[in-house]
């Protein structure tokens, strides 16, 4: 990035100054404040109103003083004038500070981490990658990770889906992070110290935002390296370790106050009450990585592997596996799909995922299921394992055919086995991946309030009531996604800041100061948002690498060359132009309703 490009933080500072100046001028003359805020149309309208509001009492004075008519009606008119003028005055002053209320683009609204998608996509379109990266990391410091493995709820709601494929938001995030990292160095500003237990995405994000707010943070984890499931479960062909390391280094080097200590197990060699005594607040981001057993006959045979243990062994190189025959994978979630794809890369001739429900009910992300299929993984639905057979090693699995008793209830619909429809599969190994949960025993041992599924109970500020403890991520939500863990980390850091340094109306003032800087992106040639009727343009495809799958070679290769800018220009900038809403009603000036265009 050229050094003369202004950083996002600098832009934000300037924007804030401009808004404060507008606010002050608005208090003197509302229209003037709007004009200084470069809102010419509103400014002129407000000036006309200002004049009307001043002229009106002059005419009234004439009536009262010269004609000496002070009736009840005159009093009422004065009162109405006073109230209307007061309201108008406050509204225009507030508006000058906050700016016109813009609709939040659907992509941002549905992002758990509230990332400003529309602006970072536009910055990529303009080739301003460093600013795009900085903007993403303002909400999610694990940007390179999310650019690869986020399930991208934003893409599901992207306005483009109303006529064609969504903007490739996730791939664009990845593009933004593949350039120079933004340089951040936070200073320690407060004496309070925070302990974070668990260095997964939630714990790391919370530490980053605490450091940003000026606190010193000690991170403790059971593993020797930070990363949580990203490091020990998600395979390298989906998340290369260089990308993960880049993000983690970015977080750990963001402040002198962040320290990571590995090999510390809460409840064994560190004590929760000791942490509560030594630190001003504690964030628990312990995850939910305890594998659920199947509880069927033969589960203790050799060759029956737990999905998470298997992935951990392969990811950390702590055990070697190689297959040559048929590997059966039981389950329908991320762990099952990743285990199946890993088994294929370790030499298995045939890998089948057996799932007791249907494809639509699989908790795994549809894109990952599709990728697994492209690589050669087979799927057998409505199949439930009954028992494992073999002398010492497993060599057969007996299955029952299942039937859905009631359709339409999704994953909650009841199942029953079909009588006489049992069959046996010859296998070399079985990988059990039927779910995971928080460690209930540990939670109870620590004396934490938990629900029936072992998830830590917290209030809406992620705090355990009446204690210095906060919790988030999978430990609170159950097994979910990285972006939700990241969102919790950020939210917890903010809640801890207000807990450690209570301020009068602190949250209100913080919210009031949150607005997006103007990046001056509205005149970008060739971008969809600059055209009156944006053309229907197909999504640029990501490069893939399905042939010869290897554990260390990434399958999805992102948008190469300048294809990312081309793709980013498909964005409609719904946030600026209220397009998502206008399209719904077909009212946007100059735009044809997407509903009409698609018919």
Ligand X SMILES: Cc1cc2nc3c(=O)[nH]c(=O)nc-3n(C[C@H](O)[C@H](O)[C@H](O)COP(=O)(O)OP(=O)(O)OC[C@H]3O[C@@H](n4cnc5c(N)ncnc54)[C@H](O)[C@@H]3O)c2cc1C
Q: Which does 234 bind (CB under 5 to 8 A by kind): ligand SF4, ligand X, none?
A: ligand X
Choosing from 248, 285, 294, 572, the residue that interacts with ligand X (CB under 6 A) is: 285
Helix (H, G, I), strand (E, B) or coil at 596: helix
289 contacts ligand X (rule: CB under 6 A)? yes
**Are the beta carbons of 192 and 186 closer than 8 angstroms?**
no
524 contacts ligand X (rule: CB under 6 A)? no
Positive or negative: CA dihedral 546, 551, 556, 560:
negative
**Are the beta carbons of 538 and 565 closer than 8 angstroms?**
no
Choosing from 572, 583, 591, 594, the residue that interacts with ligand SF4 (CB under 6 A) is: 572
Report d(CA 594, CA 341) in Å as an integer: 39
Specify the stretch interacting with ligand X by CB under 6 A; choose among 96-104, 223-231, 382-390, 402-410.
223-231
**Are the beta carbons of 373 and 379 closer than 8 angstroms?**
yes
Q: Which does 233 bind (CB under 5 to 8 A by kind): ligand SF4, ligand X, none?
A: ligand X
272 contacts ligand SF4 (rule: CB under 6 A)? no
Report d(CA 380, CA 326) in Å as an integer: 14
Contact track, ligand X, 156-195, x by CB under 6 A: ----------------------------------------
β-bridge mates for residue 400, sequence order: 384, 422
Contact track, ligand X, 308-337, x by CB under 6 A: ---x----------------------xx--
**Are the beta carbons of 223 and 199 closer than 8 angstroms?**
yes
117 contacts ligand SF4 (rule: CB under 6 A)? yes
Helix (H, G, I), strand (E, B) or coil at 247: helix
Cβ proximity to ligand SF4, 532 vs 547, nearer residue = 532
266 contacts ligand X (rule: CB under 6 A)? yes
β-bridge mates for residue 431, sequence order: 305, 329
Cβ proximity to ligand SF4, 283 vs 519, nearer residue = 519
Choosing from 140, 286, 432, 556, the residue that interacts with ligand X (CB under 6 A) is: 286
Q: Which does 573 bind (CB under 5 to 8 A by kind): ligand SF4, ligand X, none?
A: ligand SF4
Element (H, E) at 431: strand 429-432
Number of residues that bind ligand SF4 (CB under 6 A): 16
CB atoms within 10 A of CB 300: 8
Report d(CA 599, CA 595) in Å as an integer: 7
Among candidate residues 90, 77, 79, 82, the one with its CA nearest the CA of residue 53: 82
Report d(CA 293, CA 434) in Å as an integer: 7
Report d(CA 167, CA 179) in Å as an integer: 21
Choosing from 117, 125, 126, 149, the residue that interacts with ligand X (CB under 6 A) is: 149
118 contacts ligand SF4 (rule: CB under 6 A)? yes
Contact track, ligand SF4, 526-565, x by CB under 6 A: ----------------------------------------
CB atoms within 10 A of CB 61: 10
Binding site for ligand SF4 (CB under 6 A): 105-107, 117-118, 121, 158-160, 167, 169, 571-575
Binding site for ligand X (CB under 6 A): 149-151, 197-203, 220-223, 228-230, 233-234, 264-267, 285-287, 289, 311, 334-335, 338, 442, 473-475, 480-483, 485
């Amino acid at each position: 990035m050229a050094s003369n490009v202004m950083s996002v933080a600098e832009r934000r500072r300037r924007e804030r100054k401009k808004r404060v100046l507008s606010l002050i001028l608005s208090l003197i003359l509302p229209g003037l404040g709007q004009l200084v805020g470069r809102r010419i149309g509103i400014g002129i309208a407000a000036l006309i109103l200002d004049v009307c509001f001043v002229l009106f009492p002059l005419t009234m004075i004439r009536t009262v003083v010269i004609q000496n008519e002070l009736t009840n009606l005159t009093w009422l008119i004065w009162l109405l004038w006073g109230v209307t003028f007061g309201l108008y005055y406050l509204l225009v002053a507030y508006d000058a500070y906050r700016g016109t209320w813009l609709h939040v683009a659907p992509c941002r609204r549905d992002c758990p981490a509230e990332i400003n998608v529309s602006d970072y996509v536009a910055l990529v379109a303009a080739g301003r990658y460093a600013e795009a990266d900085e903007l993403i990391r303002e909400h999610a410091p694990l940007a390179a990770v999310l650019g690869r493995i986020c399930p991208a709820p934003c893409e599901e709601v992207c306005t483009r889906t109303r006529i064609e494929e969504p903007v490739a938001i996730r791939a664009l995030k990845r593009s933004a992070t593949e350039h120079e990292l933004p340089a951040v160095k936070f200073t320690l500003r407060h004496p309070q110290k925070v302990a974070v237990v668990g260095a997964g995405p939630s714990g790391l994000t919370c530490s980053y935002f605490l450091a940003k707010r000026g606190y010193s943070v000690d991170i403790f984890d059971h593993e020797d390296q930070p990363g949580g499931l990203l490091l020990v479960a998600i395979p390298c062909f989906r998340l290369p370790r260089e990308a993960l390391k880049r993000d983690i280094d970015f977080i750990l080097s963001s402040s002198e106050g962040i320290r990571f200590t590995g090999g510390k197990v809460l409840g064994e060699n560190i004590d929760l009450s000791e942490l509560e005594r030594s630190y001003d607040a504690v964030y628990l981001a312990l995850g939910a990585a305890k594998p659920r057993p199947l509880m069927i006959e033969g589960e203790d045979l050799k060759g029956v592997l737990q999905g998470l243990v298997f992935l951990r062994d392969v990811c950390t190189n702590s055990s070697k596996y190689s297959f040559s025959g048929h590997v059966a994978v039981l389950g329908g979630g991320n762990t099952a799909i990743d285990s199946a794809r890993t088994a294929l890369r370790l030499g298995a001739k045939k890998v089948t995922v057996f799932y007791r429900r249907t494809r639509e009910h699989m908790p795994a992300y549809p894109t990952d299921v599709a990728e697994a299929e492209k690589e050669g993984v087979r799927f057998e639905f409505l199949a439930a394992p009954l028992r494992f057979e073999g002398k010492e090693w497993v060599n057969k699995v007996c299955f029952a055919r299942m039937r859905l008793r009631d359709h339409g209830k999704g994953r909650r619909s009841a199942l029953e086995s079909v009588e006489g429809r049992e069959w046996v599969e010859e296998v070399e190994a079985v990988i059990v991946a039927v779910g995971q949960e928080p460690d209930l025993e540990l939670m109870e041992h620590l004396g934490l309030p938990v629900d029936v599924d072992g998830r830590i109970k917290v209030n809406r500020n992620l705090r355990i009531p009446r204690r210095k403890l906060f919790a988030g991520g999978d430990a609170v939500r159950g097994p979910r996604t990285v972006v939700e863990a990241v969102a919790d980390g950020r939210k917890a850091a903010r809640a801890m800041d207000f807990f450690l340094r209570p301020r009068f109306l602190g949250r209100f003032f913080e919210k009031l100061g949150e607005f997006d800087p103007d990046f001056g992106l509205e005149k970008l040639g060739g971008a969809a948002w600059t055209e009156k009727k944006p053309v229907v343009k197909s999504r640029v495809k990501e490069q893939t690498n399905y042939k010869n799958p290897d554990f260390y070679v990434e399958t999805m290769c992102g948008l190469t060359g300048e294809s990312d800018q081309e793709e980013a220009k498909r964005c409609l900038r719904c946030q600026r132009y209220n397009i998502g809403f206008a399209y719904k009603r077909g009212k946007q000036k100059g735009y044809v309703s997407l509903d009409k265009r698609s018919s």
